[in-house]
Structure 1
Amino acid sequence: MSPYRLVFGKMSHLPVGVEHRAYWAVNEINMKPKACEDERKLQLQELEELSIESYESAMWYKEKTVLLHAKNLRVKELQAGQKVLLFQSRLKLVPGKLKSKWIGPYTIVGLQANGAVEIQGSASNSIPFLVNGHRVKVFRDNDENGRLAREKVHTDLEEVASWTQQHVHAARSGKLISSATPTSV
């Protein structure tokens, strides 16, 4: 069926010369119908093989991605008496960008089978209340780690300052020195 007939619903009548040339071109192309049929079958088979291969590749990629993400997940192991932070999920009309969304610390009083956690504030007269286990995270009070991190930042800042002073001094004296940045930056 010709495109003209598909669009307009009737056969197109070409001048005899043009119609004869079109008929001749169709016959010339389809001189060997069996060979054309076999070639088309091979093309379809190759296309199907490519489709199957891409599907298998996508499945392999998905499995690898799932395994990668599953490897990086950490299971929250909460215990009674442990200190936790609570995620503050109240609606705020004007949220502060630098305000922490985690409040606390709270102490876990009990754990429920459905994943709920009963927590109590740090004050002795505070009343315990239930929250969803997904809204809490373990509170880490590591003064040693905080001190080490502050010392590292301080030494990094000193290194950057000395590097900057060297370059400013070299620029003023007209010397050309290496433009490599400090190692910790």
Structure 2
Amino acid sequence: MKKYTTLLSLAMLMATGLSAQQLGKPAETESEFDKAYAWRIRQENLDGVYIPKDLTEAFLELNRLTEKSSREKYRNAPEEEATHRLFFSLGRWITTNWSFYEGSRLSEFLRKLGLHHPDDMALFIMITWHRSLNQSPLEVKNLVDSLEAKRKEELKEYLERGTLLKEETRPKEKNQRERE
């Protein structure tokens, strides 16, 4: 009996190890990350979730996944209020399920538009979906420029609030002095 218990335990341990390997591990080098990213941006499905390829598909998927009454509430709310109120629910769902941090074909599409931060990508989709539901012009270029400017301003303010811990000046190396 003890022999069978040991074999059963060993089999369960091996099965657990196999499933952990199947889940994959984080990239340890930049080239591993680049290879994984290149694979991810070509996939229609990641982690069992359909990934839209562009804004049109994103809108269709959001329409499919939401109840009509919820869509109507979202559509009828002012744009700023709708996106602000739902950013930490719908926005987080979009960011997580459509793999904006790890990379997906939708995040790559948005990156090519000029959006680089996952929060900006989610907000962009929420705003343009709201405009689409209201049959308003999407104004993609203006929105991308606005989000990019806001991100730069936030970074500038963040850096200005920072405290310099120590300032150092390193002497130039011999090769640098010879080039000058």
Q: Give the structure-1-normalised TM-score.
A: 0.25
Q: Name whichever structure is richer in strand by fraction.
A: 1
**Higher Cα radius of gyration:** 1
Q: Give the structure-2-normalised TM-score.
A: 0.26
Higher RCO (CA-CA < 8 Å; seq separation 6+):
2
Q: Name whichever structure is richer in helix by fraction.
A: 2
